[in-house]
């Protein structure tokens, strides 16, 4: 039978794959189409990310926690809206409500949802209600305005502007209080959020120190980027440690590697937080600018504009005046107690470094024996401050009986309200350092003197004696770089809560 040439072979004839051989004596290994398909499938399976089982304990805990927060926050918002309208309109305003009044509940929940107030808690670790205060004010304003526009359908009779303002204030105050309570309840009934760092050992130690004082969060360990990029190794690690969130230090890997880790973490169903090393130097007030898919970060200039300085000064004058009037009886009692407890003046005046290298006399109620400064050098070996540049002793033998009490609750600082009224201090600002401590602040760090020093600041709530001077200078820098009126208000509320706990000194 004649053999068919290539030209004579039918077009529909099945051909076997042609396999090249290395030599004539080498065995011929035929690879069929089915073998190639199986090999391709195996490679795809190996490259496919390994996801956590939807029934795993980690994902169940994660979903339970987020569900608890959403439901309780929604309940808090609904309760606030219903009670605010009931009190402002029906109670104080004596205007009977119509049945359509019940629409205020879904209206509030819808406004909060559009404002992102139910989705933010799964993105952050510090779920503090005061941090969302600007958005709460916006939502309360929108809801109050809508209720005012719909008043003819909700209320029998008419309501005046006073009731609108009362409704607005009740909505803001109610949202802050009920949401804070809701978060506290959700935290207690929800599993602790277990976090793992993808980064270096130094960052781990620093992050562990920060999260130590954050309730509801546990940093269970760390891993290197090389392990995190291996999805099978990452899966085994996450299952073993029951991790809910990965915190990725962006500086330990390139952008491509970081993106791969984020994708693999998201495929497992976990939450992801980035720890960018750059933002540690510029703060959180950067503006993200998307230019054709390329993201730029706009960093605000350092310092406050003249209008911001005027706003801050107005806030200081109003706040200090109100506080002085309200606390005048308390200050009178403390002054009498100091005078009767030990010899010496009621007020202690100490030279501190102020704004733009200007020194001033800071006022405090005297809490130590008269002439205590002369004993400071003999006590330096007992210094308990975080660094030698600062001086602090918890059980200071120079303290008087009254001094121990007023320092515990920060009451010795009350005369500084007069410093604020005089303009040498602010309610919130960088820590006013004594001249000896200020001499250790050099170079660019002296930019902290751009603002007037404050009675309180972030350094106060963190424990002024527990953080080193270098860290305190950085805190002051970030405060100036990221200043806003909301920041001052939040720090004041945090300070009141901190001092009320008795941890002031």
Q: Are 412 and 496 in the same domain?
A: yes
Rounded to whole angstroms, the Cα distance separating 225 from 197 reads 10
Q: Which residues contact 103 (CB under 8 A, 6 or more apart)?
A: 150, 154
Q: What pLDDT score does 12 carry?
A: 43
The answer to whether 213 and 126 are in contact (CB under 8 A) is no
Judged by average pLDDT, the poorest of 355-369, 373-387, 430-444, 475-489 is: 373-387
Q: Are 93 and 125 in the same domain?
A: yes
Beta bridge partners of 196: 221, 246
Burial per residue of 448-474, b for 16 or more beta-carbon CB atoms within 10 angstroms, e otherwise:
bbbbbbbbbbbbbbbebbebebeebbb
Judged by average pLDDT, the poorest of 84-98, 380-394, 421-435 is: 380-394
Using the 3D structure, point to which of 129, 159, 189 is the last residue of a domain: 189
Q: What is the count of structural domains for the chain?
A: 3
- Reported as a single tens digit per residue, the pLDDT across 357-385 is 899 999 999 988 877 666 666 666 666 55
> Per the domain annotation, does 477 fall within a domain?
yes
Q: Is the dihedral of CA 186, 189, 191, 197 positive or negative?
A: positive
Distances (CA, A) of 352 to 250, 334, 376, 448, 454: 40, 23, 17, 14, 12
Q: What pLDDT score does 419 carry?
A: 96
Judged by average pLDDT, the poorest of 12-16, 73-77, 298-302 is: 12-16
User: Which DSSP category does 343 fall into?
Assistant: S
Q: Are 366 and 390 in the same domain?
A: yes
> Per the domain annotation, does 321 fall within a domain?
yes
**Tokens standing for 479?**
């405060």
Q: Are 315 and 439 in the same domain?
A: yes
Rounded to whole angstroms, the Cα distance separating 379 from 388 reads 12
Q: Which residues contact 454 (CB under 8 A, 6 or more apart)?
A: 425, 426, 427, 428, 429, 430, 431, 432
Q: Which CATH number characterizes residue 208's domain?
A: 3.40.50.10700
Q: What pLDDT score does 137 carry?
A: 92
Q: Which residues contact 217 (CB under 8 A, 6 or more apart)?
A: 125, 192, 193, 195, 211
Q: Are 166 and 198 in the same domain?
A: no
Q: What pLDDT score does 319 carry?
A: 94
The answer to whether 467 and 386 are in contact (CB under 8 A) is yes
Q: Which residues contact 469 (CB under 8 A, 6 or more apart)?
A: 386, 387, 389, 390, 437, 440, 441
Q: Are 84 and 173 in the same domain?
A: yes
Query: Would the pLDDT of 24 be above 50?
Result: no
Distances (CA, A) of 68 to 62, 211, 331, 383, 387: 10, 22, 44, 46, 43
Q: Are 249 and 357 in the same domain?
A: no
Name the nearest CA neighbour of 450 among 291, 301, 341, 288.
Answer: 301
Rounded to whole angstroms, the Cα distance separating 477 from 301 reads 12
> Per the domain annotation, does 77 fall within a domain?
yes
> Per the domain annotation, does 42 fall within a domain?
no
- For strand 294-298 and strand 347-353, is the pairing parallel, antiparallel, or unpaired? unpaired
Q: Are 353 and 489 in the same domain?
A: yes
**Tokens standing for 317?**
């004058």
Judged by average pLDDT, the poorest of 55-64, 162-171, 231-240, 376-385 is: 376-385
Name the nearest CA neighbour of 246 among 261, 259, 256.
Answer: 261
Q: What pLDDT score does 384 carry?
A: 56
| Structural domain boundaries enclosing 469 | 306-500
Judged by average pLDDT, the poorest of 22-26, 144-148, 337-341 is: 22-26
Using the 3D structure, point to which of 140, 164, 189 is the last residue of a domain: 189
Judged by average pLDDT, the poorest of 70-79, 149-158, 350-359, 476-485 is: 149-158
Q: Are 93 and 147 in the same domain?
A: yes
- Reported as a single tens digit per residue, the pLDDT across 292-334 is 766 777 777 777 888 889 999 999 999 999 999 999 999 999 9
- The percentage of residues in the chain with a pLDDT greater than 70, rounded to a whole number, is 77
Q: Are 338 and 432 in the same domain?
A: yes
Q: At 19, is the pLDDT very low, low, confident or very high (cuts 50, 70, 90)?
A: very low
Using the 3D structure, point to which of 156, 189, 222 is the last residue of a domain: 189
> Per the domain annotation, does 28 fall within a domain?
no
- Reported as a single tens digit per residue, the pLDDT across 252-263 is 766 777 787 787
Rounded to whole angstroms, the Cα distance separating 316 from 9 reads 96
- Reported as a single tens digit per residue, the pLDDT across 114-167 is 988 998 888 888 888 988 988 999 999 999 988 888 877 777 666 677 888 888
What's the whole-number mean pLDDT along residues 95-114? 84
> Per the domain annotation, does 62 fall within a domain?
yes
Q: Which residue has the tokens 């929940």?
A: 109
Q: Are 130 and 197 in the same domain?
A: no
> Per the domain annotation, does 443 fall within a domain?
yes
> Per the domain annotation, does 230 fall within a domain?
yes
Kindly report the pTM of this predicted structure. 0.69
Name the nearest CA neighbour of 498 among 464, 472, 452.
Answer: 464
Q: Are 180 and 317 in the same domain?
A: no
What's the whole-number mean pLDDT along residues 449-463? 84
């Amino acid at each position: 039978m004649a053999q068919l040439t290539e030209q004579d072979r039918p077009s529909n004839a099945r051909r076997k794959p042609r396999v090249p051989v290395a030599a004539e004596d080498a065995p011929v290994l035929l690879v069929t189409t089915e073998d190639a398909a199986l090999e391709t499938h195996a490679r795809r399976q190996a490259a496919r990310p390994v996801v956590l089982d939807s029934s795993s304990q980690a994902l169940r805990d994660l979903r339970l926690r987020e569900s608890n927060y959403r439901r309780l926050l929604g309940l808090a918002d609904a309760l606030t809206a219903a009670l605010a309208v009931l009190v402002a309109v029906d109670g104080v305003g004596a205007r009977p409500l119509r049945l359509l009044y019940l629409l205020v509940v879904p209206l509030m929940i819808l406004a909060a949802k559009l404002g992102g107030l139910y989705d933010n808690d799964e993105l952050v670790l510090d779920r503090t209600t005061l941090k969302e205060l600007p958005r709460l004010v916006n939502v309360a304003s929108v809801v109050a305005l809508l209720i005012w526009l719909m008043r003819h359908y909700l209320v029998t009779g008419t309501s005046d502007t006073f009731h609108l303002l009362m409704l607005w204030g009740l909505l803001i105050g109610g949202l802050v209080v009920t949401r804070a309570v809701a978060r506290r309840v959700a935290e207690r009934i929800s599993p602790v959020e277990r976090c793992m760092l993808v980064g270096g050992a130094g960052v781990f130690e620093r992050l562990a120190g920060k999260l130590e004082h954050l309730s509801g969060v546990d940093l269970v360990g760390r891993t290197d980027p090389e392990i995190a990029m291996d999805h099978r190794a990452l899966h085994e690690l996450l299952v073993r440690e029951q991790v809910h969130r990965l915190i990725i230090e962006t500086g330990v890997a390139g952008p491509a590697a970081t993106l791969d880790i984020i994708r693999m973490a998201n495929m497992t169903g976990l939450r992801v937080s980035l720890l960018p090393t750059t933002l540690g130097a510029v703060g959180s007030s950067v503006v993200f600018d998307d230019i054709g898919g390329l993201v730029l970060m706009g960093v605000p200039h350092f310092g406050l504009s003249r209008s911001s300085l005027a706003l801050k000064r107005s806030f200081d004058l109003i706040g200090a005046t109100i506080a002085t009037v309200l606390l005048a009886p308390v200050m009178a009692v403390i002054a009498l107690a100091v005078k009767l407890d030990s010899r010496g003046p009621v007020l202690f005046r100490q030279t501190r470094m102020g704004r733009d290298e200007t020194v001033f006399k800071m006022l405090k109620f005297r809490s130590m024996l008269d002439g205590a400064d002369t004993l400071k050098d003999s006590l330096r070996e007992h210094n308990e401050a975080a660094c030698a540049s600062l001086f602090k002793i918890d059980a200071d033998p120079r303290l008087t009986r009254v001094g121990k009490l007023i320092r515990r609750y920060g009451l010795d600082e009350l005369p500084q309200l007069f410093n604020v009224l005089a303009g040498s201090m602010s309610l919130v600002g960088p820590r006013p350092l004594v001249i000896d401590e200020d001499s250790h602040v050099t170079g660019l760090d002296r930019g902290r003197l751009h603002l007037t020093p404050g009675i309180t600041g972030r350094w106060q709530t963190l424990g002024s004696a527990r953080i080193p001077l270098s860290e305190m200078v950085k805190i002051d820098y970030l405060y100036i770089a990221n200043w806003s009126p909301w920041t001052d208000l939040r720090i004041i509320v945090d300070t009141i809560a901190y001092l009320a706990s008795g941890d002031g000194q």
